[in-house]
A and B are shown apart, each in its own frame.
Chain A
């Protein structure tokens, strides 16, 4: 396990910071759109090291956070059905739905299991063939190829007791929606490294072309992040805008063609609801017609009732970058990681959880 400390070299950090300082002449707002970036900024104490003129905000980059309440309600309802094992990622378990959460349902007797990948859920299906295993599949382009492979695997091995609730989303359309809404002025985007490893740099080209905003695809180590900020400041300083790849050791301009092929083999692009952003056209994925038998929602007849958003919760504004978590009246009082009201406080990559954790929220309580 090399290449961790190498990317945290204090001498190189200092040198990058000096270069950043010399370019940070006027106030700029940079937006990152990846939960892992959100956490990395806090974990390494990067915000405090940047010049005051460089303001970094978080966008809708946390997959748990942007998953709308009705998807959770559906998963909760499916999990209640007899003989069902509902498997999903750890972060999803605590997110409050309209009237319950998967964590509460588990305590009440539903068989809810935490997995690290869709393949783990498929393994459950293989082992327990008397049960129906339903995988609640959320995430961006990073996780959807894995889900797609799992579907193909299930088809090939004729595992019929494996179903999915597919709630995958696509990042570039959300960025366009943010820009179209025009609520927040962004001078540069720190684009997500994992997502871009799959999709490459091309899908962001519209941002500099149509909106004149620089983009840099960034890695996750401190040196990656600082170098990306430097690249953005350089573009801003020179008055140019283009998509640059800083995270070259993982991201190629064309992305990962195999992953992209598998995704398009299994999924169709569809309109999708985002928490905080509303319905965005062509921003989600759904199973193609020929895989419909794996779609849990078309098998179970669900009567969900209306999705209820938590009162007073500002997750929507936080996800759009127009509110800082501390500006939410619930933050740190009614809403804490142990008793979260909104999803941004639940996910380890949620902006509110990051703010809470790294501002000493729990000890101050």
Chain B
């Protein structure tokens, strides 16, 4: 639905060639500087969850979009839209979390805006952030090459299941924490290790499956992945089985998927595993010359299936 809106109603009106690339960040030159620029809005419910909160998410979301474009985030803006009557203690807790995460990501918040709207105008608090970064080496989603290996930086689906398990009406007990984390130091380490990193993406909404499909389409290649190599925690797999969800489509907020030449893949994997946000990294598949724009999964039992784009939101099933 959102995709359709973007293609039909937004891209037809705003004709910027930079925008049309639909990458995680806009990458452009000003003078001698190559910059990356990105923005994101955060409306998560619940606003506090195991492993994070809306504030941490607002920093990580923008930092990670810059990082996977090959940029080192430098400056950020922060806009808060707060519902009247929102508890000050909660607001302070969110602001502290924003400060701590920004410090950890080594990014400076340099401009901001605060609006308070009437009750019901927003649901508790909405946050928008934007970020500016200096491009270390431009990485887009359209440069994955046949023969590249695909590496994911750890367990998938943790964030989505953590959120869902704490949403009102769906409470179930799983000791899963969101993976919400700033990825810029991991990504800069990856870029330092190999000149042959061809594409990266942070698989947020729509999960790993959607990120892989986007790259397959943008790069005009096929992607083949192996179900048994995709790291999924037992608890997440169990929760997904119960709710009828597929972990491949569940959101992550602290993962990166990396497309790197097969020669460099072993050393990239090794340095990723040495980093705190990449210790469970796995090689999950490779880029093939066809079918173009298609992701195929070899299932654990030896079957094959197409891993399609997510259309609409995954909803918990009945039984």
Could you mark each residue 284-308 of chain B with 1 if its beta carbon is under 8 Å from any beta carbon of chain A, else 0?
0000000001110101111111101
Q: Is the CB of A44 within 8 A of B303?
A: yes
- Interface assignment of B177: CB less than 8 Å from any CB of chain A: no
B303 — nearest CB in chain A belongs to which residue? A45
**Contacts A10-B302, A347-B317, A359-B306: A94 and B312 contacting too (C-beta < 8 A)?**
yes
- Interface assignment of B274: CB less than 8 Å from any CB of chain A: no
Q: Is the CB of A358 within 8 A of B308?
A: yes
Q: Say which one of A1-9, A51-59, A204-212 lies at the interface with B.
A: A1-9
How close is A226's CB to chain B, nearest CB, in angstroms? 8
Q: Is the CB of B301 within 8 A of A349?
A: no
Q: Is the CB of B302 within 8 A of A1?
A: no
Q: 8 Å CB contacts to A: which residues of B254-309?
A: 293-295, 297, 299-306, 308-309
Alpha-carbon distance A123/B309, docked complex (angstroms): 35
Which DSSP category, helix, strand, loop or mixed, fits chain B's interface? loop
Q: Is the CB of A90 within 8 A of B311?
A: no
How close is A126's CB to chain B, nearest CB, in angstroms? 13
Q: 8 Å CB contacts to A: which residues of B215-242?
A: 216-217, 234-235, 237-238, 241
Q: Is the CB of B293 within 8 A of A363?
A: yes
Enumerate chain B residues within 8 angstroms of A113, measured Cβ to Cβ.
169
How close is A194's CB to chain B, nearest CB, in angstroms? 6
- Interface assignment of A139: CB less than 8 Å from any CB of chain B: yes
Enumerate chain B residues within 8 angstroms of A36, measured Cβ to Cβ.
244, 319
Alpha-carbon distance A52/B278, docked complex (angstroms): 44
Alpha-carbon distance A48/B299, docked complex (angstroms): 11
Alpha-carbon distance A44/B311, docked complex (angstroms): 20
Enumerate chain B residues within 8 angstroms of A352, measured Cβ to Cβ.
none
Q: 8 Å CB contacts to A: which residues of B194-214?
A: 213
Q: Is the CB of B169 within 8 A of A87?
A: yes
Q: Is the CB of A337 within 8 A of B312?
A: yes
Q: Is the CB of A44 within 8 A of B305?
A: yes
Enumerate chain A residues within 8 angstroms of B238, measured Cβ to Cβ.
1, 4
Enumerate chain B residues within 8 angstroms of A13, measured Cβ to Cβ.
301-302
Partner of A43, one of B235, B293, B299, B317: B299
Count A interface residues, CB 8 Å.
Answer: 56
How close is B251's CB to chain A, nearest CB, in angstroms? 16
Q: Is the CB of A10 within 8 A of B311?
A: no
How close is A203's CB to chain B, nearest CB, in angstroms? 18
A138 — nearest CB in chain B belongs to which residue? B318
Q: Is the CB of A115 within 8 A of B312?
A: no
Could you mark each residue 330-365 of chain A with 1 if its beta carbon is under 8 Å from any beta carbon of chain B, else 0?
000000111000000001110000001111111100
Q: 8 Å CB contacts to B: which residues of A31-82?
A: 35-36, 39, 42-46, 48-49, 63-64
Alpha-carbon distance A336/B308, docked complex (angstroms): 13
Enumerate chain B residues within 8 angstroms of A363, measured Cβ to Cβ.
213, 216-217, 293-295, 306, 308-309
Q: Is the CB of B305 within 8 A of A43?
A: yes
- Interface assignment of B12: CB less than 8 Å from any CB of chain A: no
Q: Is the CB of B319 within 8 A of A63?
A: yes
Question: Which are the 5 A-B pairs with shortest beta-carbon distances?
Answer: A45-B303, A90-B315, A1-B238, A362-B309, A1-B234
Q: Could you list 18 further interchain pairs (A-B, Cβ under 8 angstroms) beyond the known A45-B303, A121-B169, A348-B314?
A: A1-B234, A1-B235, A1-B238, A8-B300, A45-B305, A49-B303, A63-B319, A64-B318, A90-B316, A91-B317, A91-B318, A114-B316, A337-B311, A338-B4, A338-B311, A349-B244, A358-B305, A360-B306
**Chain A to chain B contacts (Cβ below 8 Å), 30 pairs:** A1-B234, A14-B302, A35-B317, A42-B305, A43-B246, A44-B300, A44-B301, A44-B303, A44-B305, A45-B297, A45-B304, A48-B303, A49-B302, A49-B303, A63-B319, A64-B318, A89-B316, A91-B318, A93-B315, A94-B312, A116-B243, A124-B169, A222-B299, A348-B244, A349-B317, A356-B308, A358-B308, A360-B294, A361-B308, A362-B311
